Chain A
Amino acid sequence: MNAELFDKAYGSLAGAFIGKLFSRTMGKMTFREREARFGWIKDIPNDKVPVFSRTDYLWIDNLSCKYDETLAITELYVQAYSKRRRRISIEDLRDEWVTAKFPINNWYMMSNNLKEVLMQGMPPRLAGAFACIIAFSTTASIPVGIYNAFDPAAAYHDTIQLASISQKEPALSVAAALSACVAEALRSDASADSLLDTAIRFTPDKEFILWDEARPNNPRQVLDQALSIAGSYDAPQSAYEELDRAVIQDYAANRYRSAFNDFIVPMGLAAAFLKLGKGDFRDSLLGAVNFAAYSYLTASLIGSMSGALGGASAIPPEWLGAAEQLTDGKLRAMAETMLDVLEARFARMEEQVSDLRILQNS
């Protein structure tokens, strides 16, 4: 087992989960509301934290029965890779979905629907085109980033293909950009700057047609703006006012969608807090969590990116311990499986490169 690479893969999977634990109750608040209700959040909220929507109750239920849907979908990717020990197709992933045994009472309606249409024979390549987009499955494709370690372009490419089983644009592009960032973060010489460069490179610079005609509708435009603001400050908290004014207030004024299923803003905010936190797991994550707005997704994005960058060893032990306890050790097990798959990938690659060099030199 490659210990350092394992640490990074484990950090990415655990970081995403920890981000979710932190932010499940605050995604719809502003940082001012968060301050008034909770003060500065510095630890994972326990289940007694007040909740404000039916959705939040569902999430709490999920946690209390040690079951999390994003994690379950992540496991499907890991299983698909593990069985085949090679790049996977969307049909491979479909096979995992239709045979998976889930505690369906805790299964969110979008996933129930997806499993059902796949069981009924809908082509997996088409399934996501009709899906309701929602934040939780965005980080589920992190294993694609891990499989494509050191190759962000391939991670982006594969995630667009694979995550389209459950997502359509613009959610799909966010998932793919995240995978690209994870693939970059797994590099031994990756840095917060190289991660941000990757986020810039792979966040789509295009205007998406949204049902509520919300503006801005260009994720890259938001990302550029958020990074520009982040560049003017030294610490996350000091940037809250300006980020809120520039990214949240103007946007909120003419939108109807919930922060829960918005995919234009989160990558921009995640990149901004990653920059402000200089890639450090605790600082970056708490910056996004305490900003509150959009933290449903931004916290998980940051958790997976900074978790891959610094590795699980850079995650505060008490947070990592809580995540492992809640998931019955699944996060570590998934990372071990993916490392095993990576060994197969690089063994194959070694043979391929050796053959190609023979062809070139003969």
Chain B
Amino acid sequence: MSENLLFSKVYGCIFGSVVGNALGVPLEEFGDYRLYGRVTDFVKDIPEMCDDDVEYLELYCKAYIEKGSRISPEDMARVWTRDAFYGNMFYCLQTSMELVKNGVPARYSGVGNCVTGSAIMGIAPVGLFHACNPADAYIDALDLSFMHQRGLDAEAAAVYAACTAEAMKPRATVSSVLDTAIEFSSDTPMIIFDTSVKETFRGTIGKALDIAAKYTDVFEARPELIEKCTQWHQLDPLEVLTLTLAMFKVADGDPTNAIIGGANIGRDADTIPSLAGALAGALNGYQKLPKHLVQRMSEHTKGKYEALAKGMCRVISSNADVLEEQMHEYREFQKEAVR
């Protein structure tokens, strides 16, 4: 299994997220890319590892691997309340965990929470589980996100998961991934506190992609993207998704450029390269991740995420068998109808 394209894409997605996150973590505190210029390599001898982005991704993977099939918000909540490192938890997560522990159903414990971009972090495994089926990835990511989020955050997570599922297709392209983002983005007026935002969710993404289309260099794209595509705060999930997809497009899906571009855009500089890295890794596979960054990760770290990727591959393969059985059953009905 470890040599096939499925593993390469799954591991590429997971480790792309890890590498991107590791590159961006030290940069997040700056907020403005002009304060650190151009960063193309880890800024410390030992890459800083695992903040909440990667931890949430691990928790999603763990929930899928333990269940061995599709997961519900309750399945997620069981794993999160048991295994999450509470020191990594932003206050919105703390609130949801407390609600769940007090008996509030996980399927709506995020309703009413403050929108912080936490649902989109680590959501990629939902797209992996539904590999090659963006529609189901979208619906499940939406449902799972409501464990701790709502509104823009849940929608951004769902759109991103759909993109990941599309990127897993053997014939996926940068265009097909971005078309998926547009297809699943809502085109009705957003009801958000920031009334200065006039575009719809889809319009906002479309605008960023139009800007991204003008550039082939991730560094050159930064000023215009920052000027025209940022929201009220760097944690805003629509901004995070928009800048992620824009960097993915400028990089033409290349994992190295997507990760470096994401880390160098400033703003939420750890989440954006993590998401861009996961998407580009899913599209291109593990072998295309930036070698100069991968080589500096420890063997322990590589082994840990390789094991996680193998576990996810087992679940995806098992799901493929289940789907094939159902398809077979449907075909049998059709044969009967013909007879």
A residues contacting B by CB (< 8 A) are: 1-5, 86-91, 123, 125-126, 129, 149-151, 153-154, 157, 160-161, 164, 187-188, 342, 346, 348-353, 355-362
**CB distance A356 to B70 under 8 Å?**
no
Chain B contact-residue range equals 35 or more
- Is there an interface contact between B150 and A353, defined as CB atoms closer than 8 Å? no
Cβ contact of A360, chosen from B4, B107, B326, cutoff 8 A: B4
Would you mind naming 30 contact pairs between A and B with Cβ atoms under 8 Å apart? A2-B333, A3-B337, A86-B136, A87-B136, A89-B142, A125-B146, A126-B108, A150-B329, A151-B322, A151-B326, A154-B70, A161-B72, A187-B329, A188-B333, A188-B336, A349-B133, A350-B327, A352-B132, A352-B133, A353-B320, A355-B132, A356-B320, A358-B5, A359-B168, A360-B1, A360-B6, A361-B4, A362-B4, A362-B5, A362-B170
4 nearest interchain CB pairs? A362-B5, A359-B6, A355-B132, A356-B320
* Interface status of B135 (Cβ within 8 A of chain A): yes
Give chain B residues whose Cβ lies under 8 Å from the Cβ of A358. Answer: 5, 170
A160 to B72, CA, bound (A): 9
Contact indicator A88/B139 (Cβ below 8 Å): yes
| Cβ-based interface call for B40 (8 A) | no
User: Beta-carbon contacts of B299-339 to A below 8 Å, as 1s and 0s?
Assistant: 00000000000000000110010111111011011101100
In the bound complex, CA of A362 to CA of B327 (Å):
22
Q: Which residues of A have CB within 8 Å of B142? A: 89, 91
Which one, A149, A350, A356, contacts B131 given CB within 8 A? A356
Contacts of A161 in B (CB 8 A): 72, 107, 143
- Cα–Cα, bound, A87→B327 (Å): 16
- A353 and B320 CA atoms in complex are apart in Å by 6
- Chain A positions within 8 Å of B72 at CB level: 157, 160-161
The distance in angstroms between the C-alpha atoms of A187 and B328, with both chains bound, is 11
The 8 A CB mask of B202-216 against A (1 = contact, 0 = none) is 000000000000000
A349 B337 Cβ-Cβ under 8 A: no
Cα–Cα, bound, A188→B337 (Å): 12
Q: Which residues of A contact B169 (CB under 8 A)?
A: 355
* Contact between B111 and A352, CB atoms less than 8 A apart: no
A residues near B324, Cβ cutoff 8 Å:
353
Is B69 an interface residue, CB under 8 A from the partner? Answer: yes
Q: Are A87 and B332 in contact (CB under 8 A)?
A: no
- Return the contact of B132 from the options A126, A149, A187, A351 (Cβ within 8 A): A351
**Chain B residues in 8 Å Cβ range of A362:** 4-6, 170
Residues of chain B within 8 A (CB-CB) of A361 are 4
B108 partner residues in chain A, CB cutoff 8 A: 123, 125-126, 129, 164
Residue pair A349, B323 in contact (C-beta under 8 Å): yes
Using A123-B150, A126-B111, A355-B170 as known contacts, say yes or no to A150 and B326 having CB atoms under 8 A apart: yes
Q: Which residues of B contact A355 (CB under 8 A)?
A: 131-132, 168-171
> Which one, B69, B112, B327, contacts A353 given CB within 8 A?
B327
What A residues does B6 contact at CB under 8 A? 356, 359-360, 362
Which chain B residues border A89 with CB–CB below 8 Å? 139, 142-143
B62 within 8 A of A: no
Tell yes or no: B9 within 8 A of A by CB. yes
CB of B323 within 8 A of CB of A353, answer: yes
**Which A residues lie within 8 Å of B1 (CB)?**
360
Chain A, Cβ-Cβ closest to B73: A161
Whether B333 contacts A5 by the Cβ 8 Å rule is yes
Among the interface residues B112, B150, B333, which one has the most CB atoms of the partner chain A within 10 A?
Answer: B333
Contact flags B174-195 to A (C-beta < 8 A → 1, else 0): 0000000000000000000000
Q: Tell me, in angstroms, the Cα distance from A353 to B135 when the chains sit together.
A: 14
Shortest distance in angstroms between B3's beta carbon and chain A's nearest beta carbon? Answer: 9
| Contact indicator B330/A346 (Cβ below 8 Å) | yes
Beyond A352-B131, A359-B6, list 7 extra A-B contacts (CB 8 Å): A157-B72, A160-B72, A187-B329, A352-B132, A353-B323, A356-B320, A362-B5
Taking CB as reference atom, which chain B residue is nearest A158?
B139
Which residues from chain A contact B322 at a C-beta distance below 8 Å? Answer: 151
Q: Report the Cα distance A88→B131, complex, angstroms.
A: 18
Do A360 and B135 contact each other (CB < 8 Å), given the known contacts A125-B111, A187-B329?
no
A1 to B333, CA, bound (A): 10
Q: Quick check: B70 and A153 within 8 Å, CB to CB?
A: yes
Report yes or no: B168 in contact with A2, Cβ–Cβ below 8 A. Answer: no
For residue A139, give the distance in angstroms from its CB to the closest CB of chain B. Answer: 21
Cβ-defined partner of B316 (8 Å) among A1, A164, A356 = A356
A167 CB → nearest B CB, Å: 12
Q: Which B residues touch A87, using CB under 8 A?
A: 135-136, 139
* Chain B residues positioned under 8 Å from A5 (CB to CB): 330, 333, 337
A10 to chain B minimum Cβ distance, whole angstroms, is 14
Known: A126-B111, A356-B6. A2 touches B337 (CB 8 A): yes
User: Considering the complex, which residues of chain B in the window 118-168 have a beta carbon less than 8 Å from any beta carbon of chain A?
Assistant: 131-133, 135-136, 139, 142-143, 146, 150, 168
On chain A, the residues within 8 Å of B168 by CB distance are 355, 359
Q: Mark B1-33, 1 if CB is under 8 A from A, else 0.
A: 100111001000000000000000000000000
Minimum distance in angstroms from A100 CB to a CB of chain B: 18
Task: Give the distance in Å from the alpha carbon of A181 to the alpha carbon of B110 in the complex.
Answer: 30
Q: Which of B46-81 contact A (CB under 8 A)?
A: 69-70, 72
Residues of B within 8 A of A129 (CB): 105, 108
Are A352 and B323 in touch, CB under 8 angstroms? yes
Please indicate the chain A residues that have their CB under 8 angstroms from the CB of B5 in the complex.
358-360, 362
